[in-house]
Structure 1
């Protein structure tokens, strides 16, 4: 009886933690909430069977469950929409997620100020060498640019720490 209660509790916790991200994912990929529920229930059954058999690959149940569900959704999505190859679907999802992440990162970079944003953009985005960056931004030398770049990054880190943000805040 105790094991049954623990299993039910574990499954409910997995449902609460893993279903919302899957529902968002399925919605982004053109599915409905009902589609997400169907796929999630099937994935939960597979997860449960593997857990009972002792053949789970990882200890992180949420990640494993989401992996199963996403795989099942892609399979279902591909069957429903034969006109979209799986590679295109992945690229579209990756582009959307990347764009959202970039917008959030840009917002935090802007908190460091315009000059910092320009300096970091020149270094990381345009791959400008330190010597050229020193000339372009009017610094005495490469060391000065390096120090300024570090200070700019620290401003951004402080903002992130101040708001108690985690990696998940940038991708969800």
Structure 2
């Protein structure tokens, strides 16, 4: 187990461990940080901090790895990124946030515009989406109501319906502002 590692040649073993963890875990961590809106430099900073935390716990005998070292390190990285993201979000001044609070109260979604794009998916899709989102019908019940062989089939069809609407919105290059009255 990782917390029982004894370093015979501390420098060489430490280098080997860190290099291995860096090669296997950093690409995954960088993808995660990028997906969450961070830059490559953000990913490096957070990952290096995670490596330091991991190594300190390992040396101090405080490390209890449940799955594997890579997963543990990625967990630390995700935790640190979310913490950094929250702190950065909380410190952003309102005048630099990219939206005007006074206009926000006046905006209302146009139900007719929204319905128009939802209808492009077809009648059966509209009924399925309405039953699931509006009437809160469970998937198992939806499968029976709409003649699907299983709950999974109903879930897949619901996903396809949503994708039809997304594709229409994407093709027409619509934005949030297009749905405001």
Q: TM-score, normalised by structure 2?
A: 0.46
Greater per-residue helix proportion: 1
Relative contact order, higher structure (CA 8 A, sep 6+): 2
